[in-house]
Chain A
């Protein structure tokens, strides 16, 4: 098992684990925005930069997806790494200066405001991290939303900016959004879930088991809070109403108690 010496602290990790894994094991905080254990790291935000010692030179790498395959030495608190992370955060603050989540992270990083003017305009402070699209695709298998455009025109949207037929209104996208851009509103009377800023209204789900109209939002919120997520379970539960979920859980409990 390779050893990562991170800011002087030595930790052993599995081959293929990331520098971020090592940092957490060592009890060191590295800021992240686009990282979420549920999905493969988009590595788009660049706020987790650390300095990797390569012997005759030092390389800035993203902690969230750099795979550890041999013993390495990493610096989180070197001046260069701190400046790199601060610079990235300042660019993000320029893009979304009023966003409270960003400002809170900036404060924690010791970044005071931004010297840059706002030159790019985003939809509702979206930082284009890609977590929402990743969770919708990789975890739910729906791919109801995706990226469109390129460069400054890049945006997250359902296809053709029309309400997506593939959306199951599970709310996973809102649950993983690091800056609170995605908001869910439930319209009881119309029987719809509105997911903004996608301007999409999705009919409430029908429970696979009993046919009741259901909101699967609470399911995902609950599931994503857990430390270790069972994705098979998650996918199954997202399509059941609370009653049927409980019934399922009761059946499982009965089965295991009768087995003893």
Chain B
């Protein structure tokens, strides 16, 4: 049975209802929206601003102030590298440099081929496992520049993922 996809308006309506139109919950609302689309599309933000009767400039301010928000589509995979003090002491700086260099991606950006979005963060609270890299929600502890490269090189690209699905 075919699933009916929610229209964009419905997605916004749902989110606003979920938080009872409380504009104090704007950040959780935008997080839910981003969880849905992978990023924050301009049109959706416009709709949200309209529904809440909040100026669009405020949504833009919030979207650009907090590090977790993205205004552009993210890559196929999400790579988070902790650059908190302990991870930094254990070499996270070198790992970040290596990732940027090899995959041609800036902090907060996406690789040119759209394989992954690279987001350094300031401490994920797993300091005993430093350095920590989180790929698609999975934690990798004690990574080195070499082991990080291995993990990232092994990330499946879209075609491969679709092929394996078809085979299954």
Q: Answer whether A and B touch in the complex at a CB cut-off of 8 Å.
A: yes
Interface residues of A (CB under 8 A from B): 133, 137, 142-150, 158-160, 164-166
Most chain A CB inside 10 Å of its own CB: which residue of B42, B55, B57, B59: B57
* Docked complex Cα distance between A11 and B58 (Å): 40
Q: Determine the chain B residues whose CB is within 8 A of the CB of A158 once the complex forms.
A: 57
CB<8 Å pairs between A and B, sample of 12 = A137-B57, A143-B58, A144-B57, A146-B57, A146-B58, A148-B64, A148-B65, A149-B64, A159-B57, A159-B59, A160-B71, A166-B56
Q: Determine the chain B residues whose CB is within 8 A of the CB of A159 once the complex forms.
A: 56-57, 59-60
* Docked complex Cα distance between A137 and B58 (Å): 10
Contact yes or no, A148 B60, CB < 8 A: yes
Contact yes or no, B65 A164, CB < 8 A: no
Chain A nearest CB, measured from B6 CB (Å) = 24
Q: Determine the chain A residues whose CB is within 8 A of the CB of B61 once the complex forms.
A: 146-148
Chain B nearest CB, measured from A120 CB (Å) = 17
Q: Determine the chain A residues whose CB is within 8 A of the CB of B57 once the complex forms.
A: 133, 137, 143-146, 158-159, 164, 166
Chain B nearest CB, measured from A121 CB (Å) = 18
A-B contact count (CB 8 A): 40
Q: Answer whether A146 and B65 are a contact pair too, CB < 8 Å, given A159-B60, A160-B42, A160-B60.
A: no
Q: Determine the chain B residues whose CB is within 8 A of the CB of A143 once the complex forms.
A: 55-58
Q: Which of the four size classes fits the interface of chain B?
A: 10 to 19
B-side binding surface: helix, strand, loop or mixed?
helix
A-side binding surface: helix, strand, loop or mixed?
loop
Question: Which of A142, A144, A145, A150 interacts with B64 by CB under 8 Å?
Answer: A150
Q: Determine the chain B residues whose CB is within 8 A of the CB of A146 once the complex forms.
A: 55, 57-58, 60-61
Q: Which residue of A lies closest to B56 (CB)?
A: A159
* Docked complex Cα distance between A83 and B59 (Å): 39
Contact yes or no, A137 B55, CB < 8 A: yes
Q: Determine the chain B residues whose CB is within 8 A of the CB of A164 once the complex forms.
A: 56-57
Q: Determine the chain B residues whose CB is within 8 A of the CB of A150 once the complex forms.
A: 64-65
Q: Determine the chain A residues whose CB is within 8 A of the CB of B65 once the complex forms.
A: 147-150
Chain A nearest CB, measured from B65 CB (Å) = 5
Q: Which residue of A lies closest to B71 (CB)?
A: A160
* Docked complex Cα distance between A165 and B58 (Å): 14
Interface residues of B in 53-79 (CB under 8 A from A): 55-61, 64-65, 71
Chain A nearest CB, measured from B72 CB (Å) = 11
Chain B nearest CB, measured from A39 CB (Å) = 16
* Docked complex Cα distance between A133 and B55 (Å): 12
Q: Determine the chain A residues whose CB is within 8 A of the CB of B71 once the complex forms.
A: 160
Chain B nearest CB, measured from A43 CB (Å) = 18
Q: Determine the chain B residues whose CB is within 8 A of the CB of A133 once the complex forms.
A: 57
* Docked complex Cα distance between A148 and B71 (Å): 12
Other 17 A-B pairs with CB < 8 A, given A144-B57, A148-B65, A160-B71: A137-B55, A137-B57, A143-B57, A144-B55, A146-B60, A147-B61, A148-B60, A148-B64, A149-B65, A158-B57, A159-B57, A159-B59, A160-B42, A160-B60, A164-B56, A166-B55, A166-B57
